[in-house]
């Protein structure tokens, strides 16, 4: 039993504990409130739900570049000229392109001439127009359910039609897939069908309110229930208001789409996982090339260039978790997202600059402006300090460089062609993540090489990173995993090394973990398909493994028609036409103009001696591509059925592109 003295001691200690706890509680930092629509329970409701209460902002937003970013192909949404235009000619492929309206439908025609004869003529109906028309209108078409880009763009500033960006180097014609990464910056919140790359079950028209404010279901529900907040006096935490966010999170909303580069997703993340109020690097890291010498900027490089500016750096030195409109300098100081930049009062831009660079202050050069008073009335600070320039990636387009330079010696009436000044790439840097992980950096190099620039430098850097992990011993899969290393070897077409790593370097568990990874299964299928066998027995084993891995890829992504085409193609070559044919016909139901599937069907029909059907199928494939391998199959078939005149015509065309060794098998 405790004595009275001990009881006093206990009471005193307890009292001290209460006081200390109270002091600690008082000194503990107060947690910043967060917007409640960041959680998974909040869902997207669409722009019409916002219009009811915010009709004024809705009306002006529809006139912005974001509001006009994506529409159905209707005349009212096209900014293109269709009067007295000439076909666009691609000299490399010897193909012409011509846009035209037929009644209320827009078409793009592709054709090839031989003298005055048209020897190839394909036309596709355009379903969507992408781009506000402030700079460009590009065009999408749909093959069944699959969304593709068409090979023709209208460049508004110069008023000309030309090949789309990148097509001047490599014209993919009508075959460029439009995926979720692309559409997540051109629409509200798109959604692809499971198992597909470019089939969309949800494809909103234009960017909408929720791209900057986050999902609106919670906000709408509370307002419908009469829970109204006077936002002049306090913050409504039911939906993100970007100007209530810390400056870093504000910028992350904008650079979600205005920071164009190689986006490397975090494990398990999707491009649609980002919500305003999140840190962008929690979803993906954006990698951009570094250069020797001047670095020309890209069309959607506003965020990166802006953050290079001394104005940005000096005003945003403070707490990343705070925003002070009187100190921090972010995108919204100049841009009101609800109002078109073309309808923004130009004084707003000047006022943003003058708010810091006031006359007769030590830090200001405003007094030294060499423009006359009259010219100052017609120009803004932007004209000289953010000059209009050509971009590195989009032809025929000039935009304001968002890197704010100090110079005032620029002729503001003449755009600067920075694209001709930039040096050679030296590597990649993570724009929105100062400390990227080793595997992520490795993936950035191999995917940048694959998607953007097949410069050997990027694979060399990837090899350097891999060597630093693996050393001279057996390959290590602890830091850079099996999927990434297989991808690296696939880019090098090192098929023997891929098979060795897969069969001998990886454990059964590591291989099993990737059974549902469609792209790894596909790459391994290609390795077994393309690797040269040493004997007939190995050849048969490799064929069997190629079929199995193509099947795995197809089953993991059953609406990827390319995977289906590869799988059924190997089945057909193995004379397993009874298995291949039903799958091919199923694929052609939802994508009737897939050239390789048509080739596979024609081959099955040929094996079954269905000559008439095979000819018809191969002719469909040839109509899609004037240099299709279907042409060679048709020569064989025309000869077989006694139509030598047709065979001779195709033979003459094939001489311009086909392997002469193959052509020697015929004589006319």
Average pLDDT, the chain: 88
Considering the four listed CATH numbers 1.10.3720.10, 3.40.50.360, 1.25.40.10, 3.40.462.10, the one that applies to the domain covering 564-668 is 1.25.40.10
**Residue whose structure tokens are 């003459």:** 652
The answer to which of 166-170, 181-185, 322-326, 640-644 has the lowest mean pLDDT is: 322-326
**Cβ atoms within 10 Å of 537's Cβ, excluding its own:** 9
Residue 105 pLDDT exceeds 90: yes
* Phi then psi dihedrals of residue 467, to 5 deg: -65, -35
**Residue whose structure tokens are 């590195």:** 392
Cα 101 to Cα 83, 97, 311, 492: the distances in Å are: 11, 14, 48, 45
Element (H, E) at 154: strand 153-155
d(Cα 36, Cα 505) in Å, to the nearest integer? 47
Write down the pLDDT at residue 484. 97
Structure tokens at 440: 């992520």
How does DSSP classify residue 371?
S
**Residue among 219, 285, 163 nearest 43 (CA):** 219
Instruction: For the chain, give every domain's residue range.
Output: 68-206, 246-427, 448-557, 564-668
Write down the pLDDT at residue 412. 45
Structure tokens at 351: 């006022």
Element (H, E) at 96: strand 95-102
Question: Tens digit of pLDDT for each residue in 431-484?
Answer: 999 899 999 999 999 999 999 999 999 999 999 999 998 876 667 888 999 999
Where does the pLDDT of residue 40 fall: very low under 50, low under 70, confident under 90, or very high at 90 and above?
confident
Residues 6 or more apart from 515 whose CB is under 8 A from it? 521, 552, 556
d(Cα 275, Cα 283) in Å, to the nearest integer? 10
Question: Tens digit of pLDDT for each residue in 571-602?
Answer: 999 999 999 999 999 999 999 999 999 999 99
Residue 393 pLDDT exceeds 80: no
d(Cα 451, Cα 109) in Å, to the nearest integer? 27
Percent of the chain with pLDDT strictly greater than 70:
88
d(Cα 194, Cα 31) in Å, to the nearest integer? 39
Task: Please list the helix, strand and coil fractions of the chain in percent, rounded to the nearest 5, in that order.
Answer: 45, 15, 45
Compute the average pLDDT of residues 161-166: 95
Question: Tens digit of pLDDT for each residue in 473-529?
Answer: 667 888 999 999 999 999 999 999 999 999 999 999 999 999 999 999 999 999 999
DSSP states of 192-229 = EPTT-SSBEEE--SS--THHHH---HHHHHHHHTT---
């Amino acid at each position: 039993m405790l004595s009275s003295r001990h009881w006093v001691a206990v009471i005193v200690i307890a009292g001290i504990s209460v006081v200390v706890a109270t002091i600690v509680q008082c000194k503990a930092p107060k947690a910043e409130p967060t917007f409640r629509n960041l959680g998974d329970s909040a869902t997207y409701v669409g722009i019409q739900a916002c219009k009811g209460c915010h009709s004024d902002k809705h009306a002006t937003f529809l006139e912005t570049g974001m509001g006009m970013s994506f529409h159905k192909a209707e005349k009212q949404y096209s900014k293109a000229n269709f009067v007295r235009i000439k076909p666009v000619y691609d000299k490399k492929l010897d193909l012409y392109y011509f846009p035209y309206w037929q009644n209320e439908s827009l078409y793009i025609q592709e054709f090839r001439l031989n003298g005055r004869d048209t020897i190839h003529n394909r036309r596709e109906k355009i379903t969507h127009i992408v781009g506000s028309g402030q700079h460009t209108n590009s065009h999408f078409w749909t093959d069944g359910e699959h969304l593709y880009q068409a090979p023709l763009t209208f460049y508004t500033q110069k008023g000309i039609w030309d090949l789309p960006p990148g097509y001047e180097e490599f014209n993919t014609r009508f075959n460029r897939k439009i995926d979720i990464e692309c559409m997540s910056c051109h629409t509200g919140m798109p959604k692809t069908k499971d198992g597909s790359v470019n089939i969309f079950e949800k494809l909103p028209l234009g960017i909408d309110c929720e791209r900057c404010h986050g999902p609106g279901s919670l906000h709408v529900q509370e307002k419908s229930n009469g829970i109204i907040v006077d936002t002049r006096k306090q913050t409504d935490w039911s939906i993100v208001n970007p100007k209530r966010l810390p400056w870093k999170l504000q910028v992350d909303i904008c650079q979600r789409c205005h920071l164009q580069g190689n986006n490397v997703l975090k494990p398990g993340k999707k491009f649609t996982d980002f919500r305003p109020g999140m840190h962008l690097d929690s979803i993906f890291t954006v990698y951009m090339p570094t250069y020797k010498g001047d670095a020309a900027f890209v069309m959607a490089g506003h965020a990166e260039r802006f953050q290079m500016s001394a104005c940005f750096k000096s005003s945003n030195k403070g707490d990343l978790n705070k925003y002070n409109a009187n100190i921090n300098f972010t995108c919204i100081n100049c841009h009101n997202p609800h109002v078109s930049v073309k309808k923004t009062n130009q004084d707003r831009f000047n006022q943003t600059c003058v708010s810091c660079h006031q006359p007769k202050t030590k830090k200001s050069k405003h007094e030294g402006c060499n423009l006359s008073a009259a010219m100052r009335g017609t120009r803004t600070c932007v004209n000289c300090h953010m000059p209009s320039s050509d971009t590195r990636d989009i032809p025929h387009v000039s935009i304001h460089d968002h890197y704010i330079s100090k110079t005032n010696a620029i002729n503001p009436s003449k755009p600067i062609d920075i694209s001709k000044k930039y040096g050679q790439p030296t590597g990649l840097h993570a724009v929105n993540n100062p400390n990227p992980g080793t595997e992520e950096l490795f993936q950035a190099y191999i995917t940048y090489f694959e998607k953007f620039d097949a410069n050997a430098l990027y694979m060399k850097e990837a090899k350097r990173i891999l060597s630093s992990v693996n050393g001279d011993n057996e390959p290590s899969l602890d830091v850079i995993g099996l999927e990434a290393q297989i991808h690296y070897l696939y880019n090098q077409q090192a098929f023997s090394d891929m098979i060795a790593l897969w069969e001998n370097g990886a454990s059964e568990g590591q291989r099993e973990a990737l059974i549902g990874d469609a792209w790894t299964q596909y790459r391994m299928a290609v390795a077994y398909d393309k690797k040269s066998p040493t004997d007939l027995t190995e050849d048969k084993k490799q064929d069997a493994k190629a079929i199995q891995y193509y099947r795995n890829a197809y089953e993991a992504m059953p609406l990827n028609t390319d995977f289906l085409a590869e799988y059924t193609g190997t089945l057909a070559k193995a004379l397993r036409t009874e298995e291949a044919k039903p799958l091919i016909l199923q694929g052609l139901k939802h994508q009737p103009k897939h050239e390789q599937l048509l080739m596979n069907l024609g081959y099955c029909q040929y094996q079954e001696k269905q000559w008439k059907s095979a000819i018809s199928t191969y002719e469909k494939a040839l109509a899609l591509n004037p240099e299709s391998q279907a042409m060679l199959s048709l020569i064989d078939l025309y000869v077989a059925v006694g139509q030598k005149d047709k065979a001779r015509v195709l033979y003459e065309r094939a001489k311009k592109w086909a392997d002469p060794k193959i052509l020697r098998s015929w004589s006319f």
